Structure 1
Amino acid sequence: MGGVVGKSESPETKLEAKMVEAMQHRASKGTTIKSFNSIILKFPKIDHTLRKCKAIFEQFDEDSNGAIDHEELKKCLHKLQVCFTEEEIEDLFKACDMNEDMGIKFNEFIVLLCLVYLLKDNATEFEAVSFLTLLRFSLSFLKSRMGVPNLEATFETLVDAFVLLDKNKDGYVSKNEMVQAINESGERSSGPIATKRFEEMDWDKNGSVSFKEFLLAFTTWVGIEEVGDDDEHH
C-alpha cells in the first residue's frame, strides 16, 4: 500500500488535522471517478466555474493588490459575521497562504473555499460555529448572487479526484499512488508523467501530498494561477 513513505509525522495545525480526518472519512465512501484521464476531461468545465469566484475574491481584496492579507481576512470574516478566535484565523491564513508571502492569492482563495467545502460534513465543535457558518454563507453567496451555480458540484469533483489518487485512504497521496493512477489510465510513459505530476503537487517536498497541495496544483493544471491572469489563458 502506498501513501505512507515520506509522510510528515503529524499535521501542522488543528485545521490540517481536521482536513486529513475529513478526507479519510470521505475516501471511505469511494469515488465516482474511474481514471485520471476522466479528471483531465473535466478541466475546461472546472476552470470555467472557478473563474467565476473572482468577483467575491476581489471584494475581500480591499486594496486591490491581488492578495488577501491577514487583516483583510479578519475584516472579511467580520463582514460575514463569523466569530473566529485568533488561533483559528491564523490556522486558516497559514493553511491557504501556501507561498508564504503573507497574502492569499486567487488560486489560494480557491483552495480556501474548497477546504471549507470538504469540512462541511465533518465539523466538530472547533469548526461548527466558524467554518460551517462561513461555508454556508460563502457557497450560498457565490451560487445565488455571484452566478456560480455549479460550485458545489465542482468542489465535489475535486474531492472525488483526490480520493481516486489516495488508494490507501490515509488522507495523503504518495508517488507510488500517483504512478498507479496514471498506469490505470493506460499512459504509455506513465512513470515520467506520474513523477512530473507528483512533483507539481508535492509543494513542501516531503514525499506526500495533502488535499490542499493537490488543490493548488489543480488550479495550475486547469489554467488558474493568480487573480491578474488573463481569463482566457488555459
Structure 2
Amino acid sequence: MMTNLFSTFDPSTNIMNLSLNWMSTFMGLLMIPMTFWLIPSRFMIIWINMIMTLHKEFKTLLGSFNHKGSTFIFISLFSFILFNNFMGLFPYIYTSTSHMSMTLTLALPLWLSFMMFGWINHTQHMFAHLVPQGTPPILMPFMVCIETISNLIRPGTLAVRLAANMIAGHLLLTLLGNTGPMMNSMLISILIITQLLLLTLEFAVSIIQSYVFAILSTLYSSEVI
C-alpha cells in the first residue's frame, strides 16, 4: 500500500523513453525572457514590488557586511523554490521540491560555502560562536558540542523541512482523491470543497516554505561574518 502511495511522487512521464520528470524545473527558463520584452503588466509590477520588499528585508538581516547585490542570491533562491512549488500544484506534474535530492542540492552547497568562508576568513569569530555569551565555564564543553551539532544539521533541517512540507500536502490530496470513487454524490461535493480548501492551503505553504528557506539561508550567512 505505502509503496503504491509514494510512487505517485515518481511518475514515469516520458517521450521515446526520455524521462521528463524534472522538466517542470526548467520550464521557468522558457518564461523568464518574455518579461524583458513585454510592457510591464500588473503582475510584473507586483513581482518587482515583492522583490524589492525581500531585498530590504535581506539587507537588514545581513547587516553591515552587505555588498551590492549580495541579497539577490537569496532572492533568486526564493524565486526558484517558489516557482517549483507552484508547478507541483498542477495535476500530473512532478513536484521536484518534494524530493531530498533536490532540496539537499540547494541547501548543502550553500551551507558548505558559508562554513568555508567563515572558518577561512573569520576563524576567531567562528570559534566565539560555539560558546554563547554568558555561558557558565562548567557548561562550556557541553555548549560547544550542542552548537557544533546544531550547526552540522542545518543543511539537513533546511532540506527536510522543505521536502516534508511539500510532500505532506500532496500526500493528503492524493489520499482524499483516492477515496472519491467509493463515495455518493453528496459526499463527493464535500470532498471537492475540502480538496479546494487544501489546495488553497498548499498555495500558501508553497509561498511560506520558499520564504522560510531563503530567510534561514540569509540568517546562516549573516552568522559567519
- The answer to whether the superposition gives a TM-score over 0.5 is no
Flag the structure with higher helix content: 2
Larger radius of gyration: 2
User: TM-score scaled to structure 2, two decimals?
Assistant: 0.30
